[in-house]
Amino acid sequence: MAWKPLCPHINRTQAFPDTQTQFRKRFYMKEIIIGPDDGGKRLDRFMRKYLSKATLGSVYKIIRKDLKINGHRGKNEYILCEGDRLTLYLDDETLKSLTVSKEEKLRKNSVKKNFHVVYEDENILIADKPFGLLTHGDSTEKKNHLANQVVDYLIASGEYKAGSSRTFVPAPANRLDRNTTGLVLFGKNAAALRALNSMIRSGDVSKYYTTIVYGHVDQPLVLTGSLSKDERTNKVTISDLSVDHLKEDKVVSSGDLRGHVNSDGSRDIETIVVPVRKLKNSTLLEIQLVTGRTHQIRAHLASIGHPLAGDFKYQTREASLFNRRLKTSAGISTQLLHSSRLQFHNCPEPLEYLEGRQFTAPLPQTFTEAINILEKTTSGKSRGNSLNKKKSTRTQRNEKNNDKFRNSK
């Protein structure tokens, strides 16, 4: 692309005998001052977000040839600091073709609010995600997801100004599956989001879920094992399963397990299971997710013969009739799993004031309706009950295993 002089009537060669590169550097400069939300990022990652329409190769070429940091060439891995001056030697037309304005992007992604705010301050927002809503966009839904809804809400409330940062947009620190409801953490600024991500990686955000499982779980258990994911089927399997009693003095820590990958590609997992109430052919549980892997709760419970109610993907043969009848009587067609409680520990700056705080989300209506139906059938007669079925040999074997856990105390 030919460079256009600011004064077309002037002969560039006569007026400016310097080279084309020097001419371009003199007349086509864009200066960017790094703000607090962009400090701490790698240069190449910042530029990839800023030049969002550029190819990856073009971004790295621009970093090499058309960019300086505080007057000097910068490397891809350079960590930006607040106050750094980035000088881009690109004309306005080229720069416009490689970037998307925040206003344009946010107008395009504007959606209707469909979540409840559990807690909000100047740094974080905790949302109660409803059933059927994605946390992030994917190939099936790129616009109407929780992340976009939260950004729209923050803009409307004046808590976030579009374009205030070159690359940062408020974003979630944890993710829930489309059909899992409950608490999702959002960082409203870069420092808060980094702190939340760090706490989650180190296990300093205790995450508790409420669920209903098929069969009776009589005592608190600690489940461990290794989880492998099949990307083709989007399904996980559990190996090296171990089931133990939950000891009262157990110290829960996931620091040693997070990030570790076994030689076979599997990842170690740990799930704590605490029974809350017995229901008809089922149990209401509170689950503490020590490690957070894909479908961990669903697969781990299914591996001990207690799949989640409504979970047709990981259901056992014994649970299939229970799930079909629950679908008929309560309209439950997917797993009953709710992120019900979060607790903060060892909070770094700027979130020290949240130390020890706990946040909860009430059960959604479909969940409570299922509990009510299962409670009513518990007190009713067995004969003719739609959720009652003859115990299979495998179910009896699972109950015997529970008895073994209880007697081995």
Please report, for the domain that includes residue 28, its CATH number. Answer: 3.10.290.10
Is residue 27 included in any domain, yes or no? yes
User: pTM score, two decimals?
Assistant: 0.72
Q: Which residue has the higher pLDDT, 125 or 48?
A: 125
Residues 55 and 149 in one domain: no
Residues 192 and 273 in one domain: no
Residues 260 and 166 in one domain: no
Residues 350 and 316 in one domain: yes
Is residue 1 included in any domain, yes or no? no
Q: Tell me which of 59-63, 103-107, 345-349 is least confident.
A: 103-107
Query: What gap in Å lies between CA 211 and CA 209, rounded to an integer?
Result: 7
Neighbouring residues of 201: CB distance < 8 A, sequence distance ≥ 6: 258, 259
Residues 157 and 236 in one domain: no
Residues 148 and 266 in one domain: no
Query: What gap in Å lies between CA 291 and CA 258, rounded to an integer?
Result: 7
> Which residue has 């892997």 as its token pair?
293
Domain that includes residue 225, residue range: 205-248+256-380+387-407
Name the domain boundary from 62, 84, 99: 99
Query: What domain count does the chain have?
Result: 3
Is residue 165 included in any domain, yes or no? yes
Assess whether pLDDT exceeds 60 at residue 20: no
Query: What gap in Å lies between CA 185 and CA 121, rounded to an integer?
Result: 12
Residues 246-294 have pLDDT tens digits of 887 665 665 556 667 888 888 999 999 999 999 999 999 999 999 989 9
Question: What's the CATH number where 268 sits?
Answer: 3.30.2350.10
**DSSP code per residue over 263-331:** TTS-EEEEEEEEEEEEETTEEEEEEEESS--TTHHHHHHHHTT-PBTT-TTT--HHHHHHHHHHHHHH-
**Could you tell me the CA-to-CA distances from 95 to 50, 91, 189, 304 in Å, in that order?**
10, 6, 26, 57
Residues 194 and 269 in one domain: no
Residues 304-315 have pLDDT tens digits of 999 999 999 999
Is residue 5 included in any domain, yes or no? no
Element (H, E) at 340: strand 337-344
Average pLDDT in the chain? 83
- Among 253-267, 334-348, 387-401, the range with the most confident prediction by mean pLDDT is 334-348
Residues 226 and 323 in one domain: yes
Query: What gap in Å lies between CA 366 and CA 364, rounded to an integer?
Result: 6
Checking phi first, is residue 380 left (phi over 0); if not, alpha (psi -120 to 50) or beta? beta
Is residue 173 included in any domain, yes or no? yes
Q: Which residue has the higher pLDDT, 259 or 213?
A: 213
Is residue 2 included in any domain, yes or no? no
Q: Give the type of residue at 47.
A: M
User: Could you tell me whether strands 171-172 and 85-88 are parallel, antiparallel, or unpaired per DSSP bridges?
Assistant: unpaired
Residues 330 and 244 in one domain: yes
Confidence of residue 242 (pLDDT cuts 50, 70, 90): very high
Name the domain boundary from 57, 83, 99: 99
Residues 188 and 117 in one domain: yes
Residues 132 and 84 in one domain: no
Is residue 131 included in any domain, yes or no? yes
Assess whether pLDDT exceeds 80 at residue 401: no
**Could you tell me the CA-to-CA distances from 35 to 243, 330, 349 in Å, in that order?**
50, 52, 18
Residues 266 and 345 in one domain: yes
Long-range contacts of 149-156 (CB under 8 A, 24+ apart): 149/111, 149/112, 149/113, 149/114, 149/115, 150/115, 150/125, 150/186, 151/106, 151/109, 152/106, 152/109, 152/110, 152/111, 152/113, 153/113, 153/117, 154/125, 154/188, 155/106
